[in-house]
Structure 1
Amino acid sequence: MNDNRPTPFHCFRDDALGHDDATSLAARIRSGEVSTLEVTRAAIARAQIAQPILNGVVAEDYERCLSAAARPGQADAPFAGVPTFIKDNTDVQNLPTGHGSAAVPASPADKTSPFAQQLLAQGFLCLGKSTLPEFGFNATTEPAHGQPTRNPWNPLFSSGASSGGSAAMVAAGVVPLAHANDGGGSIRIPAACCGLIGLKPTRGRVVDNDAAKTLPINIVSDGVVTRSVRDTAGFMAAAEEYFRNPRLPAIGQVFGPSGKQLRIGLVLDSINGHKTDPVTRSTVEDTARYLEKLGHIIEPIEVPVARSFPEDFTLYWAMLAFGVKVRGRKLVHPGFDKRKVDGLTNGLDRMFRRKCLNLPAALWRLKRSWHDYARHMATFDAVLTPVLGHTTPKLGHFSPTVPFDTLFERLTHYVCFTPLANATGAPAISVPMSLTRDGLPVSIQLMARHGDERTLLEIAYALEADHPSPLISRLSMHDYTAGAALMA
């Protein structure tokens, strides 16, 4: 091990949570080895240790969670009693939904959103709301009006975004699984930064929240970030029991690799012309070689979408910021104050106003991207790509206080692989595969045909079997107080 590596921060300890993933923890609760109340108390204790260092929680609900844990719950639910966090752009009754923005008043939600109901129906207990950047627009969880969310691998680095708070809490060991959603990479990016599994489901696979239904193209999918492939697979199987979309093939319960030979496309550089950095590129190439050893066919391919895609998706991203500023009181909260939005939102808004006449053609092409992708994927089972254009940056690199032109250029170099799955509606998964010399995770992305999450999970199981996540073994070597010392 490189002695110059920073000491990670974590909360893994000998308590009711132990080092379990959600699947194992749920089994221990069902067997009576630990009680839901013991597990909840342990998770709250860990959250209280982690929060001053990582800042991944924006609203606590500990007392109500303890009360729920003390009562008989959904004993037959697959994850009964397992603690979690729900991202702060998703309503949970009686908790505020702030969308990561100073422009949104912190008032309690009247009801629980449709996807949060789908998640909680699996037996999870919500400890509170996790942090995100303003409206999920940024690739780091660093609000202009508050403290950043820090990466447990090194608290001086970004935890990614927009589900950065959830990823930090899972990676640090506070909870084994947490809610995330993805409109341009916001499940996969923080999963990659924090060394987790992050699956963006096919469009329509899970219940849509109300906001997604208002979009001209629904680019948002909800899911979770986890420390194990089996937790992600178990979550998807349980979600399918709650809601089954008849237009998509069933996933079912996936327990491991399939053993089938697959034809997998390989993409190393993004369509926008930016070259992938050497460490990330090497990780993807090493993964391709490993998959070939497993018997799969790897073939370099062109990005399976039109060349206009980067500009079209950027305009759509800018349109969302424009929409928030113009209709925030109707879409977000009656007390929305557009004067308080951050520099990134304002910059995107200005960009859209300059280029809005191009929107109709961009929307037509983005809608066509579903067909372009499906046509290109007709002879491939999956595509292997980087998750991001380069390794995880330090905090401040993507701060919304950075001048907009500089920030925008940095973001387009970084977030250049994930948006394709959002526009096309395809499933995509982030899997950790290596570490940088500084000890930060590097992940790969796999994309599949529409509705074929099963293949992604099977490949992820195969990768995990021979490349187990270094997360728990690495973090458990250090006392949790080391992270606090690093920040002192």
Structure 2
Amino acid sequence: MGRLDAHDQAALVKTGELTPADLVDAAILRIEHLDAALNVMTFKDYDRARARARATDMRGAMAGVPWLLKDGLDYPGMPNRSGSRSKRDAAPGTIEFPFTRAFDDAGLIPLGKTNAPEFGLLPTTEPLLYGAARNPWSLDRSPGGSSGGAAAAVASGMVPVAHAADGGGSIRIPASCCGLVGLKPGRGANVRARDPHVLEDLLACDVLLSRSVRDVSWAYATAAGGIDMPVAPVARRLRVAVIADTLDGAAPSPQVAAVLRQAADLCASLGHDVVAAPLPADGPGVAACFRTLWRYLARDAVAHVVSRMGEAAAEAALEPWTRDLARHGETLGTADLEGALGQICAASDAFARFFTQYDIVLSPVLRHPALAIGDLAPDRSFEHIMERMFDYVSYTPLQNLTGLPALSLPLYLGADGVPIGSMFTAARGQEALLLELAFELEAALPWKHRWPAHSIGTEVPR
């Protein structure tokens, strides 16, 4: 049953073929078999999951379907360590936000939490607290980040859906690396998942990763407060602008460029009007803006740890990358923040005008295929990570800064057999259009049969 998406697993419960306890026990079996290689799980809550499965009232749309939460998300009864040694001894949580309550009400049963980098500050998942999560397509490659553990869990078939959060690409990046459907809702499109925070409210959003468009469409509708969800392919033909270069004007790597051409050709073959277009905004300025805000986030995270632990203990507990990025942020002044906010406004206005001419932007998710484990390890030199990270993550921050919705789809594999996602972006409020296009592309080029080497599709017989 691990080969089934959330909808099909829920159907087994609704027809009485299986019970919620059956689904939960099977998922635990899969996790225990696969996690030794993938290092996904950071907290296992199996006893409570089994108790919840026995007690479920069967009324939710996804009653009995197992899922996993990302480390960094607050949830009652589970510790939130945020991938950090500074929170190694975090107590079980007591906070329930509307986001997780919506999925509880829908009948999903959480089994635990997944691996994530310290405070979500890297696009790979190699925290010193837990060790590296591994890509089920190739164990020497990263599943991406910061929702890398979630992506590896879903891609391998441990669970059909898992929570992911995105402040600079952290839904779309692991979706690209692991061959999943990854929707980043637009700003304010989902109910609250965390405490109010100016920069996180500006940049971050939450949804569930899955292998199927219908699961992600349902999850988006649920997290948006129970709106009607798209269920069918787009009816009209769309104007698709292909933007190939990064924010800094660099071309994508050859494997990524090849996938972009294939995705553009697929859209054209379906009758969409596909044309190349330049980035309408100041790309280097937008990239600099993101680097500025990322330093602010690190500085804020470190300040909280120092206030709780003291300077010496915080220095010992925090990862070198986090400490160094925060120190780099200490040089920022009000003029830097004012300039960053100005870039956000200018880019948002530019794209509002751009979307009067086009319906969709097609671009890469990442400049390079999934990186090797260790390439962005948090104890590498600050200079190496700064250069490599912002070169790697040079497409996805745009949508976080401008509040646009975007979607990574697993249309193609790279030449080495590891997925490379294709990113589609739409105007504010056009999540439904993205999902309708995704339904069409999924039907035209199905990926349901594709399973990584380390997965339920190849290793575990249930």
2:381 is aligned to 403
CA distance in 2, matches of 1:83, 1:224: 12
Code of the aligned partner of 2:314:
K
Write out per-residue CA displacement over residues 100-153 of structure 1, whole angstroms, 9 at most, x where no aligned residue. 111123211122233221222221000011110011110100012332001111
Q: Which of the residues 271, 283, 291 maps onto 2:267?
A: 291
Q: Which of the residues 105, 119, 132 maps onto 1:135?
A: 119
Code of the aligned partner of 1:172:
S
CA distance in 2, matches of 1:477, 1:132: 22
Which one is further off, 75-84 or 188-197? Answer: 75-84
2:2–2:158 CA contact under 8 A, matched in 1? no
Code of the aligned partner of 2:325:
L
1:85 is aligned to 68
Code of the aligned partner of 1:78:
A
1:453 is aligned to 431
Sort the Cα spacing of 1:102 and 1:203 in 2 relative to 1 into closer, same or farther, 3 A.
Answer: same
1:265 is aligned to 241
Code of the aligned partner of 1:284:
L
Sort the Cα spacing of 1:342 and 1:257 in 2 relative to 1 into closer, same or farther, 3 A.
Answer: same
Instruction: Compute the RMSD of aligned alpha carbons.
Output: 2.1
1:171–1:471 CA contact under 8 A, matched in 2? no
Sort the Cα spacing of 1:424 and 1:64 in 2 relative to 1 into closer, same or farther, 3 A.
Answer: same
Classify the secondary structure of the residue corresponding to 2:129: coil
1:23–1:234 CA contact under 8 A, matched in 2? no
CA distance in 1, matches of 2:94, 2:452: 42
Q: Which of the residues 48, 53, 56 maps onto 1:69?
A: 53
Sort the Cα spacing of 1:87 and 1:18 in 2 relative to 1 into closer, same or farther, 3 A.
Answer: closer
Q: Which of the residues 132, 140, 149 maps onto 1:156?
A: 140
In the TM superposition, what are the counterparts of 1:127-276 in structure 2 within 5 Å? Answer: 127-215=111-199, 218-242=202-226, 252-276=228-252
CA distance in 2, matches of 1:21, 1:427: 23
CA distance in 1, matches of 2:239, 2:314: 49
CA distance in 1, matches of 2:212, 2:435: 11
What TM-score does the superposition give when structure 2 sets the normalisation length? 0.94
1:442 is aligned to 420
How far residue 285 of structure 1 moved from its aligned partner, in angstroms, is: 1.1
1:312 is aligned to 289
Unaligned 5+ segments in structure 1 are 1-16, 245-251, 483-488
How far residue 399 of structure 1 moved from its aligned partner, in angstroms, is: 0.6
1:364 is aligned to 342
1:398–1:410 CA contact under 8 A, matched in 2? yes
Q: Which of the residues 105, 108, 117 maps onto 1:124?
A: 108
CA distance in 2, matches of 1:40, 1:204: 32
2:410 is aligned to 432
The yes-or-no answer on 1:390 pairing with 2:368 is: yes
How far residue 202 of structure 1 moved from its aligned partner, in angstroms, is: 1.1
1:338 is aligned to 314
How far residue 335 of structure 1 moved from its aligned partner, in angstroms, is: 8.7
Q: Percent identity over the alignment?
A: 35
Which one is further off, 360-369 or 168-177? Answer: 360-369
2:99–2:223 CA contact under 8 A, matched in 1? no
Which one is further off, 371-380 or 194-203? Answer: 371-380
Unaligned 5+ segments in structure 2 are none
1:321 is aligned to 298
Code of the aligned partner of 2:81:
G
Which one is further off, 209-218 or 312-321? Answer: 209-218
How far residue 436 of structure 1 moved from its aligned partner, in angstroms, is: 2.0
1:485 is aligned to none
Write out per-residue CA displacement over residues 144-173 of structure 1, whole angstroms, 9 at most, x where no aligned residue. 233200111111110100011111110111
1:348 is aligned to 325
Code of the aligned partner of 1:39:
L
Which one is further off, 285-294 or 108-117? Answer: 108-117
CA distance in 2, matches of 1:42, 1:325: 40
Code of the aligned partner of 2:70:
K
- State the number of aligned residues: 455
How far residue 239 of structure 1 moved from its aligned partner, in angstroms, is: 3.1
How far residue 393 of structure 1 moved from its aligned partner, in angstroms, is: 1.3
Sort the Cα spacing of 1:471 and 1:415 in 2 relative to 1 into closer, same or farther, 3 A.
Answer: farther
2:459 is aligned to 480
Write out per-residue CA displacement over residues 216-263 of structure 1, whole angstroms, 9 at most, x where no aligned residue. 761000001101011111222333454x6xxxxxxx221221220111
